[in-house]
Amino acid sequence: MRARGFTLIELIVVVSVVALLFGVALERLLRYQEMGERAALEQNLAAINTALTMRFAAYIAAGKPRAIESVAGKNPVDLLERAPENYLGELFAPEVGTLARTSWYFDRSSGELVYLPGRRRYLSSESGPPDAIRFRVVLSQPRDPAEEPPSLRQPFILPTVPFRWVIE
């Protein structure tokens, strides 16, 4: 008479297959979460660049195109209708380790907008994965000073240290 049920070998094979599938699914989940975080970062930067362009256009319409130079070094989140949900506000040289990850803040001591990434597996810079990504509002360089009419300097936001966030 043969006993019903699994043999020990069959049980080990089933547990191994389930563990392998769980590991693959977890890897995919973490990858997709990081892709979402990168997309949110890019969306916020696009909104800030749009707000800077709108402010630039408003100054031109008002006949004060040179007034845009006052925006450089200031908090670009103030130009948005609504700050990102994970925006901590304006802080003066905070201890980065004490702040919540995946959040933004404006560092008043350096004049930089800072993002604290939560996942950094695919994030890199010259010196390895950065603990924080820093951005600054800068003005474009005029193309040719002798150009008529002279080109205006336009504002945009750039990282202070170049970084790559490539998720393949």
Q: Which of 122, 92, 90, 93 is nearest to 104 (CA)?
A: 90
pLDDT at 129: 85
Look at 62-66, 98-102, 111-115, 116-120 and tell me which has the smallest mean pLDDT.
Answer: 62-66
Rounded mean pLDDT of 18-44? Answer: 93
- pLDDT of 153 > 70? The answer is yes
Residue 77: pLDDT band with limits 50, 70, 90: very high
pTM: 0.82
**Do the Cβ atoms of 83 and 77 come closer than 8 Å?**
yes
Residue 102: pLDDT band with limits 50, 70, 90: very high
pLDDT at 46: 94
Rounded CA-CA distance 49/44 in Å is 9
* pLDDT tens-place string over residues 55-75: 988 988 898 877 888 888 889
**Do the Cβ atoms of 91 and 105 come closer than 8 Å?**
yes
Residue 40: pLDDT band with limits 50, 70, 90: very high
Residue 144: pLDDT band with limits 50, 70, 90: low
Q: Exposed/middle/buried for 6, CB within 10 Å: 0-12, 13-18, 19+?
A: exposed
pLDDT at 134: 95
Residue 148: pLDDT band with limits 50, 70, 90: low
Q: What pairs with residue 155 in β-bridges? A: 139
Rounded CA-CA distance 154/66 in Å is 10
